[in-house]
Amino acid sequence: MSVIVIGAGMAGLKAASTLHKYGVKDIKVLESRDRIGGRLHTVTGFDGVRKYDLGASWHHDTLCNDLFFEECEVGGKFIFDDDFFIYIDQERGRVDRDPEMGLEIIDREISKFADMEYYQKLGTPDVSFQELTLRYLYEKRQFLTDDQIRYSTQVARYLELWHGLDWKLMSAKDTYFGHQGRNAMALYYGDVVERIAKMIPGECIELNAEVQGIKREKSKTVVTTKDGRQFSADYCIVTVPQSVLELSVKDETKKETGRIEFTPKLNANIQAGFDLVHFGGMGKVIFEFDQTCWSKESSKLVTLASTSDKFAAEVRGSKSFDELRSSVNASDAAQALEGRNCWNQPLYFINLAKTVGTASFMMLMQSPLTEYIEAMGQDQEKVFEFFRPALDAIMKNMQGKPVVNGLAQVPEGVDPSKTPVLRNIIVTSWTQDKYSRGAYTACRPGDDALEMIVALEQGQSPSVRFAGEHTIVDGAGGVNGAWSSGLREAEYVAEQLNLKPAEK
Ligand SMILES: Cc1cc2nc3c(=O)[nH]c(=O)nc-3n(C[C@H](O)[C@H](O)[C@H](O)COP(=O)(O)OP(=O)(O)OC[C@H]3O[C@@H](n4cnc5c(N)ncnc54)[C@H](O)[C@@H]3O)c2cc1C
């Protein structure tokens, strides 16, 4: 029996390795890129030693993450990097754990407010997360201080860095979700990918093999690659990202890189599912310094979007919620005209000096900023100028001096043990890359990802199946979801063929 797996990310590798374990001999993994791993990609820094994960970094939900359990069994490396958040405002400096403001407490109340709106009442219409938090401020303003009105919703915006979407784009209903345990940072995902790939015979994996067609012919599925080769198999497991698969349902995308023409077309449930879901744009920028000369007080720092000192008065003075919403929309529009800067949105910096002892920050950003920064690509000077004010604010609040530009060369007379000298910047390209077209599934107001997940879980037909982070509820959007979905589809095929796993 033969199986073709499309895509060598976590889902594809897990599916292929499981099928191999079940004794399936004829497996072909077709991968469009020149590397395996997909949205798992470990790179080295300017000194050739430091390592960074440009895609996923964490094992989430570690109380019930089967990939994480397997990593524990085989001695995989990771670190629980739990820490409290340091919040930095452009004007005010640090606003975290301030007993006068109690922003963390208000943040928790906002989450409860969302929960009551969407999960304890029926029929509350989904709106953007920005609108929901504004409504909270409007309704509870008499119980909040001016500082709480000004800063609390900016603190709540750290959730943008979970979903990879700006709060104007993010579904309020979908914003909060229960964590099933702590997060452990993988050290590094490249090793996890390699470990699983080693379970598959090398000749089974073909790189630079972009699939362009999947056709049902009698009892077989025929897969065509860009270079015209055809492969025929009994089963096919498609693991390309949601953003790539979605191209298949649109006629106008026929010439897009990565698009797969399905014959017959993707079934009606799958097509309908795509109408109710979007794709997020999480991106990362790594700032590498010569030496660590700032505080290791916390590994988690968020620079907040800046707010006007008139905002609290505006919230208090509005005669209706609509009036408040219009005035916030007007100031957002005015800000947009001024052009982007690093204080328009929250940014999340992981202080790797504390986590793993390297003199670097890993910064997470969200769409639409990600598209903007990733389009700058390798222009390190430009990227540095954009983020410099946020980096300087971090240094100022973390007992460091202003950042010195050492991208081309370390300036003379500067002592890198006392002054943060920036040596290198690495920018991701997930939104630019045609084989990812973004980061992972995300919901905009009105979306319901479940429709697509259920449709993909059921498959196109008994022999054309789907796996990937976008095809599963438990672990949705994450590496563990991708892993479990690959396992699910391999076990489905094995069950159809009445196979038992071979002894280890
Ligand atoms: C910046 C970022 C941060 C993240 N952080 C985390 C995190 O901390 N924790 C977490 O759990 N998850 C995180 N994720 C999500 C996680 O990386 C993904 O959910 C997971 O890796 C997806 O695996 P997959 O196998 O479903 O898809 P992919 O890894 O995308 O694999 C699909 C493969 O299909 C290939 N392909 C595409 N089109 C074709 C074609 N036409 N023909 C052949 N091959 C094709 C692609 O090249 C790719 O290799 C993050 C993602 C990003 C981008």
Q: Each residue of 398-409: pLDDT tens digit? A: 998 999 999 999
Partners of 85 in the beta sheet?
Answer: 300
Domain with CATH 3.50.50.60 in the chain: 2-37+188-277+448-496
Angle at 186 between CA 465 and CA 44, to 5 degrees: 100
Test site for ligand 1: of 240, 347, 485, most ligand atoms within 8 A of the Cβ: 240
**The domain defined by 83-181+280-427 carries CATH number 3.40.50.10490:** no
How confident is the model over 13-25, as a mean pLDDT? 96
- Give the distance, in angstroms, between the CA of residue 1 and the centroid of all CA atoms in the same chain: 36
pLDDT at 279 over 60: yes
pLDDT band at 178, cuts 50/70/90? confident
> Does residue 288 sit in helix, strand or coil?
strand
Residue 83 CA to ligand 1 center (angstroms) comes to 27
pLDDT at 249 over 90: yes
Q: Each residue of 460-490: pLDDT tens digit? A: 999 999 999 999 999 999 999 999 999 999 9
How confident is the model over 420-437, as a mean pLDDT? 98
pLDDT the model gives residue 203: 95
Return mean pLDDT, the chain: 96
Distance CA 473, CA 104 (A): 29
**Minimum CA distance residue for ligand 1 atom 52:** 55
How confident is the model over 417-431, as a mean pLDDT? 97
pLDDT the model gives residue 1: 74
Q: Each residue of 86-101: pLDDT tens digit? A: 999 999 999 999 999 9
Domain with CATH 3.90.660.10 in the chain: 83-181+280-427
Q: Go through the chain and tell me how many residues it has.
A: 504
Residue 209 CA to ligand 1 center (angstroms) comes to 17
Test site for ligand 1: of 65, 428, 479, most ligand atoms within 8 A of the Cβ: 479
Helix 146-156 to helix 129-140 angle (10° resolution) is: 160
Q: Give the architecture (CATH level 2) of 2-37+188-277+448-496.
A: 3-Layer(bba) Sandwich (3.50)
Residue 436 CA to ligand 1 center (angstroms) comes to 7
Residue 140 CA to ligand 1 center (angstroms) comes to 41
Distance CA 312, CA 346 (A): 19
Residue 95 CA to ligand 1 center (angstroms) comes to 35
pLDDT the model gives residue 282: 97
pLDDT at 503 over 80: no
Distance CA 288, CA 285 (A): 10
Q: Each residue of 355-400: pLDDT tens digit? A: 999 999 999 999 999 999 999 988 999 999 999 999 999 999 999 8
pLDDT the model gives residue 408: 94
The label of the residue with tokens 């073709």 reads 4
Identity of residue 209:
A
61 Rama sector, left if φ>0, alpha if ψ -120 to 50, beta otherwise: left
Test site for ligand 1: of 18, 29, 35, 39, most ligand atoms within 8 A of the Cβ: 39
pLDDT band at 502, cuts 50/70/90? confident
Q: Each residue of 66-92: pLDDT tens digit? A: 999 999 999 999 999 999 999 999 999
How confident is the model over 23-41, as a mean pLDDT? 97
Give the sign of the dihedral formed by CA 271, CA 272, CA 275, CA 276. Answer: negative
> Does residue 482's CB lie within 6 angstroms of at least one atom of ligand 1?
yes
Q: 264-273 burial by CB neighbour count: b if 16+ within 10 A, else e?
A: eebbeebbeb
How confident is the model over 46-61, as a mean pLDDT? 97
Give the sign of the dihedral formed by CA 257, CA 261, CA 265, CA 270. Answer: negative
Distance CA 487, CA 504 (A): 17
pLDDT band at 504, cuts 50/70/90? very low
Contact 486, 236 (CB under 8 A): no
Distance CA 500, CA 504 (A): 12
Residue 468 CA to ligand 1 center (angstroms) comes to 8
